[in-house]
Structure formats: C-alpha cells, structure tokens
C-alpha cells in the first residue's frame, strides 16, 4: 500500500531516510502472499492467527535505499518525524514510523517456502529499472 507513493517520491528525487529509518517494515511479495493464503487453507498444520510477511526482516532505510538504487535516483533527503506527521497526520505513524518486527514463523514451521527472500528482491520484481538506452 505504501510502495506506490514512495516510488513517486523517489522518482522525483526526494527520497531519503524516513525519520531515523531504523523502524522495521513488514513486507511480502504478492506471489508469496497469495501462495501463503492458499497454503494456509489447504494444510492442517496451521491453527489460529497467522502472520504473512516476508522471511527476512527489513528496515525502512534498507527498503528506501534499495528503491532509490533500483530507480537510479539520489537517496539524500532525510524526512524528519515532525514533517511526516505534519504532512500525513496519524497516517505517518501507522504507515511509515511504526516499528513492526513481525515474523512468519508459523508458516515456515508448517513447511511453507517463500519464493522471494528479501525486500530488495521483491522491489526488483515489481519496480522496473529505468530505461537508459538512447
């Protein structure tokens, strides 16, 4: 949900750390999310609540830096917490600033295998690199 506006900001050349950038962001590729849901409804090994998030934790700074590198754009301008809150209100805390270290341990323990190991790999799969021909 948050990737599309981050792509736009990055393409505009205004990407950089969001606050300290150390907050964990849960992520998952769409392919793995669909596969995990199908796995969950077809296996008897899972019971109760289930987290569906990528297998490797990622911090906001890692994701934003990889996105900037993928789009061949600078990664310089830190967005302070107060500025994000002024621009986005409570959504800044909910979407960008909260630290959410979440694991899919139950899925993995039940035998689910992710096809995308890192947030960087997920970005590479859905964000086309700029065309530098010509």
Over residues 84-134, the pLDDT tens digits come to 888 888 888 888 888 899 999 999 999 999 999 999 999 999 999 887 765
As given in the structure block, the two tokens for residue 27 are 């992520």
pTM of the complete model: 0.84
Distance between CA atoms of residues 81 and 124, nearest Å: 28
pLDDT at res. 38? 96
Q: Residues 49-67: what's their mean pLDDT?
A: 94
pLDDT at res. 91? 83
Over residues 1-47, the pLDDT tens digits come to 578 888 888 888 888 888 888 999 999 999 999 999 999 999 998 98
Q: Which CATH architecture has domain 3-126?
A: 3-Layer(aba) Sandwich (3.40)
């Amino acid at each position: 949900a948050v990737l599309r506006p981050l792509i736009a900001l990055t393409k505009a050349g205004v990407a950089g750390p969001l606050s300290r950038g150390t907050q964990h962001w849960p992520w998952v590729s769409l392919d793995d999310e669909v596969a995990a849901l199908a796995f969950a409804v077809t296996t008897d090994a899972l019971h109760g609540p289930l987290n569906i998030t990528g297998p490797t934790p990622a911090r906001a700074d890692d994701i934003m830096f990889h996105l900037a590198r993928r789009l061949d754009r600078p990664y310089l301008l830190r967005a302070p917490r107060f500025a994000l809150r002024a621009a986005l209100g409570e959504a800044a805390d909910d979407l960008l600033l909260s630290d959410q270290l979440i694991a899919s341990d139950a899925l993995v323990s039940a035998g689910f295998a992710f096809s995308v190991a890192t947030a960087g790999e997920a970005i590479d799969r859905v964000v086309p690199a700029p065309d530098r021909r010509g």
